[in-house]
Structure 1
Amino acid sequence: MNPFELINLSLTSSKARRAVIFFSRIKSRFWVGIGIHGSPFINIKESRRIGMSWEYSWTSNPSKVGLTTHTARLDLYSYECIHLFSESRMHDCMKWYEIIKPVLGCQIGHASVDNPKPSITDWLRSHQDSIGGISILEGDEENVKYLLKTIRVLGDLSLKISPRSYQLEFPEGLTRLEIDTAELINYDQLLRLKVRNINLRGSILTNQEINGFLKSWMSCESHLDLKSIEIDIPLSKAVNEIMDLPHEVTKIGYKIKRCDRKEANVTFGLWTRPYLYLSID
């Protein structure tokens, strides 16, 4: 049975609900993502990877209520969404999760939040003390700090906060850190990061600071577990200044070596912005 069918069955009677919950305790097989913002949703998958996806969303527009379905080419991806009418969308989304959590035997794998007020953070924390990934769309400095202090992020952290002079400390051991407004990261913070994959858009780092970061990696002074990093760069004379260090020119860019003989490839690109991309072999 798919999640919609299990949830609908659990609502038919208390006996049916107990049976479904018992079954889910034996074999929990669903990954859940939740969005707590202006367009709240609960997304349910058999795994986080592409495949079947079932979703609930809440809307204040009666004309959007109903079922939406979509199947991608070759049946590689299938999506069903039930749009529910609500005048208290975020509240109803959180309440619905509390109802379906025991039915599916699931935990939240990823949360997307907009201005995570303490009440939202405390609600998330009441269900679990750690989470695989969090996306923060906006938020006051103290609210963001409280969320990062209260809930342990195990995998991916994405910040899409408008440029502000925040002073944030980031969790150690992240799989990925992605910041759309990387004015939040100065040079000293960059050197302290302990993250395997980093993407800094809108970075304010200078060419000299990026050069210093590469030299720090080459001398094993920082980022020993780094796998990749992408940083926006200033356009003017960027390559010559950044690569003012021992390197080998390759067909795709440059190769640099760490003091323990580990190698990394450095490439420069221009998509919507000039950037540097470093990948560790």
Structure 2
Amino acid sequence: MLAIKEVLSEVTPLDLINFSMVSRKTRLIARHFSKQPPISKYVLILDIYEPPSVQIFHGEVLYAYEIVSYKTENLGRLREEDEIIKYSKYSEDTITEFKNYVEYAMEVFNWPVNQLYFNFDELDDKSHSIIDWLKFRVLSTKHCSLFGNRVSDDYVSYFLENVEVHRHLCLGSTMSDNFQLKVPKIIEDLKICKSNFITFDQLSSFNCVSIHLSQTSISNKELNQFFKNWMTSKSNQNLQDLFIGIKDLESLETIFKLPHEVIDPGTVRTLYRYNHPIPVAGGIDIKRDDGSVATCYTQVCIGSLYLAMLVHLNF
């Protein structure tokens, strides 16, 4: 058995799954060793696009099982593509094949779904049924990104009602102007790419550690009130990292009509976004009523101007 363990520990997770499918005996062997490292350390990443794929990740190597609805010369063989070891399989029903593969990997190897990417555009008529499947098979995931160029209010709401995201949510979908996003309290990190629909009240209700909004219709006066509320502990008390688009540098005159300290631009301090150090030159310091200090500064990213806030953390 020791020799079998050594062999299974050396093969790729894609080969490991193929081995387990040979017979009932090989499946039992694979299940037995699945509880031991490195096999037990793998996690699943679900790419629900067209074509859908299942990625298996551990360490620095990423493996992908891709199900395609067209014939290609790459079918049935391992290859390296964009630093990913891929295997492509043809199927006339890609979604069913995808579901079966995920269910098998979770059942035999108990690998959790760590990340999930879902594009509503490409699977429009199947999106609800896929969410229903996720509700009973996946249950929860740490990281989730939702995409779609069509208005996706219904899909996003339905997804968040049925699948638990318990750390990071990236919303890249197009939402209607009056969409009311309800962010579960367990989400720590929220990024919204097309965030013009976010209002002052919605922003104030997000109790996340990190909030990044690429676009915003929130006015300068509302941002001024937002910071005042943070300083008096009326809202967003968990917030440590804010990144939000503003129109121009003149906006800062209105936004910071509140008690603050302007730091000399020659003073460079190391602040942290989660555990990542970030050198910040100058900036504007504001203080909360419990003594917490945050530094606000501007940053240009992809031709747009953003206002960032980082709360000083003690490590």
Instruction: Give me the TM-score of the superposition, normalised by structure 1.
Output: 0.90
AA in 2 matched with 1:94: K
Contact 1:121 1:147 in 2 (8 A): yes
Runs of 5+ unmatched residues, structure 2:
1-8, 121-125, 266-280
1:55 to 50, 60, 64: 64
Q: Secondary structure at the match of 1:182?
A: coil
The offset of 1:56, in angstroms, is: 1.1
| CA distance, structure 2, for counterparts of residue 181 and residue 5 of structure 1 | 40
Q: What is aligned with 2:278?
A: none
The offset of 1:236, in angstroms, is: 6.3
Q: What is aligned with 2:255?
A: 242
Return the index of the structure with the highest Cα Rg.
Answer: 2
The offset of 1:187, in angstroms, is: 0.3
2:99 to 71, 90, 94: 94
Give aligned pairs, total.
272
The offset of 1:36, in angstroms, is: 1.2
| CA distance, structure 1, for counterparts of residue 98 and residue 161 of structure 2 | 24
Q: What is aligned with 2:144?
A: 134
The offset of 1:59, in angstroms, is: 2.5
Kindly provide the CA deviation profile for residues 222-242 of structure 1, in whole angstroms up to 9, marking residues without a partner as x. Answer: 111111010011226212111
| CA distance, structure 2, for counterparts of residue 172 and residue 224 of structure 1 | 12
| CA distance, structure 2, for counterparts of residue 203 and residue 68 of structure 1 | 42
Q: Secondary structure at the match of 2:34?
A: helix
Q: What is aligned with 1:161?
A: 173
Kindly provide the CA deviation profile for residues 106-134 of structure 1, in whole angstroms up to 9, marking residues without a partner as x. Answer: 12111111227221111111113322122
Instruction: Give me the TM-score of the superposition, normalised by structure 2.
Output: 0.81
The offset of 1:146, in angstroms, is: 1.5
Q: Do structure 1's residue 68 and structure 2's residue 69 form an aligned pair?
A: no
Pairwise CA RMSD of aligned residues?
1.9
Percent identity over the alignment? 26
Q: What is aligned with 1:148?
A: 160
1:186 to 177, 199, 215: 199
Runs of 5+ unmatched residues, structure 1:
72-77
Q: Secondary structure at the match of 1:210?
A: helix
- The worse-fitting range, judged by mean Cα deviation, of 234-243 and 189-198 is 234-243
AA in 2 matched with 1:279: L
Superposed structure 1 runs of 4+ greater than 4 Å apart = none
Q: Do structure 1's residue 257 and structure 2's residue 287 form an aligned pair?
A: yes
Q: What is aligned with 1:14?
A: 24
| CA distance, structure 2, for counterparts of residue 105 and residue 237 of structure 1 | 54
Q: Which has the higher contact order (CA 8 A, sep 6+)?
A: 1
Q: What is aligned with 1:195?
A: 208
Kindly provide the CA deviation profile for residues 172-216 of structure 1, in whole angstroms up to 9, marking residues without a partner as x. Answer: 131211101112311001111111111101111111111111111
Q: Do structure 1's residue 211 and structure 2's residue 216 form an aligned pair?
A: no
| CA distance, structure 2, for counterparts of residue 247 and residue 87 of structure 1 | 62
Contact 1:41 1:93 in 2 (8 A): yes
- The worse-fitting range, judged by mean Cα deviation, of 174-183 and 4-13 is 4-13
Superposition map of 1:106-125 within 5 A: 106-115=111-120, 117-125=127-135
Q: What is aligned with 2:108?
A: 103
Q: Do structure 1's residue 41 and structure 2's residue 50 form an aligned pair?
A: no
| CA distance, structure 2, for counterparts of residue 61 and residue 117 of structure 1 | 21
| CA distance, structure 2, for counterparts of residue 99 and residue 185 of structure 1 | 40
AA in 1 matched with 2:182: E
Q: What is aligned with 1:74?
A: none
AA in 1 matched with 2:107: P
| CA distance, structure 1, for counterparts of residue 81 and residue 129 of structure 2 | 35
Contact 1:206 1:234 in 2 (8 A): no
